[in-house]
Amino acid sequence: MYKLQKFMCYCNIKKYSFCARVVNIWNSLPNEVVEADTVNAFKYRLDKHWSDQDVLFDFNANLTGTGSVPICI
């Protein structure tokens, strides 16, 4: 089982880094995806896992009404 540990970050540079953002996503993956032997096996298992999920990303979604976050177009 390959789980990552998340450390406390006291400055914004580390807090919003790529590593700090992906730890929760990586740890939520099932073991059969994470324990793949090759990169191609990992990609295949990840695609299969994501295809079974109910939520899909919609690139054409209307993003208005997201609170106080302004959207720059």
Q: Does any domain span residue 67? A: no
Q: How many domains does the chain have?
A: 1
Q: Per the domain annotation, does 73 fall within a domain?
A: no
4 within domain boundaries = no
The answer to whether residue 63 sits within a structural domain is: no
Asked if 44 contacts 51 with a C-beta cutoff of 8 angstroms, the reply is no
Q: Is residue 17 part of a domain?
A: yes
Which residues constitute the domain of residue 24?
12-51
Q: What is the tens place of the pLDDT at every residue in 6-46? A: 777 677 767 667 777 778 888 888 899 989 999 999 999 98
CB of 1 within 8 A of CB of 35? Answer: yes
| pTM, two decimal places | 0.56
Q: What angle do CA 47, 52, 57 make, to 5 degrees?
A: 75
Does 72 reside within a domain? Answer: no
d(CA 4, CA 7): 10
Q: Is 44 a member of any domain?
A: yes
